[in-house]
Amino acid sequence: MFPGQLYKTESGRLFHAGANAIILVGLPARGKTAISRSLSRYLRWLGVQTKVFSVGNYRRQIIGVEVTNDFFSPVNKATADLRLKIANACLDDMVQWFTEGGQVGILDGSNTTEERRQELVKRFKECNVHAMFIETICDNPDIIDANIRSVKVSSPDYVGWDKQDAVDDFKRRIENHVPFYTTITDLSLTFVKVINAGERIIVNKAQGFLQSKIVYYLTNLHISPRTIYFARNGISLNEQSYKADAPLAPAGHRYAENLKNFVLTLRENTATSSPSSTSPQSETPRQLTVWTSSRKRSFQTAAHFLDHEEIIVRQRSVLADRNPGVCDLMTPQEIEEKYPDECLRAKADPYRHRLPRAESYYDLANRLEKVILELEREKNDVLIVAHESVIRCLYGYLNGLPESEIPSLEIPEGVLLEVVPTAYNTEERRYKIPDTVASVNWQQQSANLMALAGNFPASPMHMDHYLPDSIGRSIHDGNTTISSSTASSPTSTPSISGGLSAATSPLSAGRPQLQIHLPQQSTPEEIVQGPELNF
């Protein structure tokens, strides 16, 4: 089964939708391959048996990559029979796959003529497969040029080519197709037209749950390049208790500051080293958005980015880690002793089994579907600060991993994951986050926890939830004492002693800031450690 699959059937097909052929239509460099791969990844996540059949891959397997751009020209009669042979070989394998129980086959090809599209409809109708067309239309030269430079020059056809030569060759390939391209006008067909990479979408005769699901996904999809970062949250004062929702320990704040410094430095170095000729849009760096949950340790880790007003920090309550249920505050040994049968079932199915009153990875994956759709829609670069279990699920989605691999994925502490989705694969880098705060003057660092309304979409009446301690209480962690006396006066400033002080930073033009003075090292007694409960 797949991570988000709701149920099983004997046929393997879901949602009473039968077999569906998704047929891509459009000129080269319009995002057909990106849509094919992304849609396949999403449908497989839902549990739908899905496979992409790429005419380009069949061509490379049959004749290799050493072809000139005029090979693809419809007026080239010398290559017409070979092109048809390659297209039909791909189509035959797709039809055979349907007979073996496949549910959604995606035909990634140009299919630019009405004659070819009618042939495909007839062929699929003969084997009782519903045909649905996705036509990608783009008349924006900037989008086309950016797609060629960021995607096509890195395709298998241009390995070893000079980038500019590859761009020129591919543009000539497009020119060969333009005179023979006809858009879909037959209203008896089921089709979706994606115009200018999602600026506008036209839908005709989409019926049933599965096709509606596909249309909804396409409304969230784009082909713009972006980078997704993952980082675990810092250490809290009580790592063993989920219900305690403990704030960050001093070591957690230290890690958060290191994370912020490293991410900003990495992005600055990347922007400096990237050649300006790669894309006309490269002169404007993409904005960074930080997503985090409403759990204190996650939010307070992300809150260190709030002293940079150009960075948006957003709360997503669904990014909270798995609820351990009745096993809260229990060690793995204690769970083994008290619930031996549950532990055996958890070891047999670590993804779907849930302990009493707890959440499984399956529950978490279904909860994260709305985040997945928003992540597909997001055009900014995104840093997701979350618990290890959340990162495992999202990382598994982006890489198309089966459910059996997700619970055992290694997401190390103190490591930044950089994931770049592309049309052909997902590129990944991992960076060890260095400890660089030894010489930092903490009085110059602003977590901005007292004035979140401008940068953080949370209700001001609940701002105290995100402070190191709630209003009117005090906690002691050995080196830091946090207290407040604001209950008596709405205009008073929190009084924070032993390491925290309220002040105003010029960065925020008079907004109240929370400045942090933390010890460089925390002792073991300060933190209640609790291991990840894996079976």
Question: What pLDDT is stored for residue 289 in this prediction?
Answer: 95
| Distance in angstroms (rounded) separating the CA atoms of residues 325 and 322 | 9
Question: What pLDDT is stored for residue 74 in this prediction?
Answer: 76
Question: What pLDDT is stored for residue 17 in this prediction?
Answer: 75
Predicted structure pTM score:
0.77
Structure token pair of residue 386: 């979350």
Model confidence pLDDT, tens digit, residues 54-94: 998 999 888 876 777 777 777 788 888 899 999 999 999 99
Per-residue confidence band for 270, with pLDDT thresholds at 50, 70 and 90: confident
Q: Is 367 helix (H, G, I), strand (E, B) or coil?
A: helix
pLDDT at 522 over 80: no
pLDDT at 127 over 70: yes
Q: What are the backbone dihedrals phi and psi of residue 6, each rounded to the nearest 5 degrees, phi first?
A: -85, -35
Question: Which of 52, 25, 37, 53 has its CA nearest to residue 190?
Answer: 25
| Residue 407 DSSP symbol | G
| Residue 83 DSSP symbol | H
Model confidence pLDDT, tens digit, residues 282-329: 446 789 999 999 999 999 999 999 888 899 999 999 999 999 999 999
Structure token pair of residue 308: 């940079």
Q: Other CB atoms closer than 10 Å to residue 287's CB: what's the count?
A: 12
Phi/psi-derived region of residue 337, left when phi > 0, alpha when psi is between -120 and 50, beta in every other case: alpha
Structure token pair of residue 486: 């604001």
Question: Which of 177, 144, 149 has its CA nearest to residue 164?
Answer: 149
Lowest mean pLDDT among 174-183, 279-288, 511-520: 511-520
pLDDT above 90 coverage of the chain, percent:
50
Model confidence pLDDT, tens digit, residues 155-168: 888 888 888 988 99
Model confidence pLDDT, tens digit, residues 449-508: 444 433 444 333 333 444 444 333 333 333 333 333 333 333 333 333 333 333 333 333
